[in-house]
Chains A and B, each alone.
Chain A
């Protein structure tokens, strides 16, 4: 699974790059607009070490942000699973708050919390949290009558058991959603860094943009893509392990 993720990414990246180079040579654009293969290779050699550190820094924040948002989404999703007033309030709130674009809220966060770790973490968690919450609320609100009926009839149903049954029945869905949310956490962290932070790969992309250096941006995109592919592959593998262990 991991190697499939990686080669699929490499294929997409190579196709995108080939498209750009085809436009460059067909239209006769300079290296300033689209860098040539040599310029790209040279730039990669110059910045790959620094960008590796930056992308790992971003990944670190994204992972913590994702863990926070998964825990939060599970908590709120479990609380909001019931067809009570509170449950419906949670769902409505989740839908409404999701309507606010994070980039509009981000500057306020940076003004209040500064440009350090906390702002990046909060924005990453916010971007990743809402889709996760919607998925968790959906999964947890859906009864599994075939199994739950027995426990209800015998009076042994407790909320912990209900959550376990629904989570187990939808384990594939949950692991897919969590693996998918890694992309959102990473994108959230990069957006935060791009807007105002002073570290991470998003910050490096912003500097490259100031310098009109598309070669650096392409290298950064490669680093982000490959790191994210590995991380998502690991999450999917972890999901399979959990499934196997739980099925025993």
Chain B
């Protein structure tokens, strides 16, 4: 009887050991990676979500921790402090960090068109050209990139500072709804869709001013990592970028519409499904690369223009030669 117990105990130990060994090997096979997004998880991060939920990261042997961003989060800073391996940052963040010696590099550009645009009531504001901005009251977030973009737009249209009134943008949209401010900055693919729909349903059609249409190309969300990561783990960088861009390609594919909405809604349950669908449709053209280029293509001239704009507006003291920081990764 005792012999049987002993044999049973040995069998249990061996099984447990085998299970733990398998578990350990399985988790060791997947390389852990921390990825800091720029903003909270919403439709602007659909490709990142799909890369994770459709298993592209796993297939690449990566266990990626998707960390939501926010106003107090800065991916570039976290890369340097070692809290993140990859992150999403806008061009102005990258250029400002480069000007201060941060070892940051860009490995892919997610948004080919900057989603930052200005919403306006069509019955109040008539914008045939940027020159029509003269005399308008325009909302900007002082200190953020929308202020720089608007100032550039105004300068190109030959409008002096005293010919418009710039109003500080706050948490709520009341000044815009009350029509105290003529143009209000929004992310066209997320807030723009939601607000635009509400106002259109209320019989107040809205329009969007896209600075890109007026020749101001200020690069938005891009994937960044550190110089050290590129130098020491080039294979990891390649695998990560390939899996991530696979997620973004999946987001562009109309066949994945329902999957994309379902996965984003898990993180953003307060946004109704029909709004999410409209947001996805608005996001796709912003990601779509030009003919002949792949998703994640880095638009070098747009980066150069962004640096030039920042230099003109004294956001950086001297040129940083940002093109040296652009390291497109071959999948």
Q: Does B97 contact A (CB under 8 A)?
A: yes
Contact among B72, B102, B168, B174 with A33 in the assembled complex (CB-CB below 8 Å)? B102
B80 touches A206 (CB 8 A): no
Residues of chain A within 8 A (CB-CB) of B141 are 210
Q: Does B77 contact A (CB under 8 A)?
A: yes
Given A32-B80, A208-B143, A211-B96, do A196 and B102 touch, yes or no (CB 8 Å)?
A: no
A30 touches B170 (CB 8 A): no
A210 to B169, CA, bound (A): 13
Q: Does A162 contact B (CB under 8 A)?
A: no
Given A32-B77, A210-B141, do A198 and B100 touch, yes or no (CB 8 Å)?
A: no
Q: Which of A9-17, A107-115, A127-135, A179-187 contacts B (4 or more CB under 8 A)?
A: A107-115
Q: Chain B interface mostly helix, strand, loop or mixed?
A: loop
Residues of chain B within 8 A (CB-CB) of A209 are 71-72
Given A39-B100, A212-B96, do A110 and B143 touch, yes or no (CB 8 Å)?
A: no
8 Å CB interface, A194-246 against B:
195-196, 198, 206-212
Q: Does B172 contact A (CB under 8 A)?
A: yes
The number of residue pairs between A and B whose CB atoms lie closer than 8 Å in the complex comes to: 58
Residues of chain B within 8 A (CB-CB) of A30 are 80, 97, 100-103
Q: Does A20 contact B (CB under 8 A)?
A: no
Q: Does B210 contact A (CB under 8 A)?
A: no
Residues of chain A within 8 A (CB-CB) of B81 are 29, 33
Residues of chain A within 8 A (CB-CB) of B144 are 210
Residue on A nearest B142 in the bound complex, by CB: A207
Q: Report how many residues on chain A are interfacial, defined by Cβ distance under 8 Å.
A: 21
A33 to B75, CA, bound (A): 11
A110 to B171, CA, bound (A): 9
Residues of chain A within 8 A (CB-CB) of B168 are 115, 198
A115 to B139, CA, bound (A): 14
8 Å CB interface, B115-143 against A:
141-143
Contact among A195, A198, A211, A212 with B171 in the assembled complex (CB-CB below 8 Å)? A195
Residue on B nearest A107 in the bound complex, by CB: B171
A32 touches B96 (CB 8 A): yes
8 Å CB interface, A22-52 against B:
29-33, 35, 39
Residues of chain A within 8 A (CB-CB) of B72 are 209
Q: Report how many residues on chain B are interfacial, defined by Cβ distance under 8 Å.
A: 24
Given A29-B81, A30-B100, A32-B80, do A206 and B143 touch, yes or no (CB 8 Å)?
A: yes
Residues of chain B within 8 A (CB-CB) of A198 are 168, 170
Contact among A32, A107, A110, A207 with B100 in the assembled complex (CB-CB below 8 Å)? A32
A211 touches B143 (CB 8 A): yes
Residue on B nearest A210 in the bound complex, by CB: B143
Residues of chain A within 8 A (CB-CB) of B143 are 206-208, 210-211
Residue on A nearest B97 in the bound complex, by CB: A32
B142 touches A110 (CB 8 A): no
Q: Determine how close the nearest CB of chain B comes to the CB of A199; give it in whole angstroms.
A: 9
Q: Mask for B142-185, Cβ within 8 A of A = 1, else 0?
A: 11100000000000000000000000101110100000000000
A32 touches B170 (CB 8 A): no
A29 to B77, CA, bound (A): 10
A32 to B144, CA, bound (A): 16
Q: Does B76 contact A (CB under 8 A)?
A: yes
Q: Does B93 contact A (CB under 8 A)?
A: yes
A32 touches B171 (CB 8 A): no
Given A30-B80, A32-B76, A32-B102, do A212 and B170 touch, yes or no (CB 8 Å)?
A: no
Q: Does B281 contact A (CB under 8 A)?
A: no
Residues of chain A within 8 A (CB-CB) of B71 are 209
Q: Determine how close the nearest CB of chain A comes to the CB of B147; give it in whole angstroms.
A: 9
A32 touches B101 (CB 8 A): yes
Residue on B nearest A42 in the bound complex, by CB: B317
A207 to B145, CA, bound (A): 11
Q: Residues of A with Cβ closer than 8 Å to B?
A: 29-33, 35, 39, 107, 110-111, 115, 195-196, 198, 206-212
Known: A32-B100, A210-B141. 15 other contacts (CB 8 A): A29-B80, A30-B102, A32-B76, A32-B77, A32-B102, A33-B80, A33-B102, A35-B100, A110-B172, A115-B170, A198-B168, A208-B143, A211-B143, A212-B76, A212-B97
7 interchain residue pairs of minimum CB distance: A207-B143, A32-B100, A31-B100, A32-B102, A30-B101, A210-B143, A30-B102
Q: Residues of B with Cβ closer than 8 Å to A?
A: 71-72, 74, 76-77, 80-81, 93, 96-97, 100-103, 141-144, 168, 170-172, 174, 315
Interface CB pairs A-B, < 8 A, 13? A33-B77, A33-B81, A35-B100, A110-B170, A111-B171, A111-B174, A196-B171, A207-B142, A209-B71, A210-B144, A211-B96, A212-B74, A212-B93
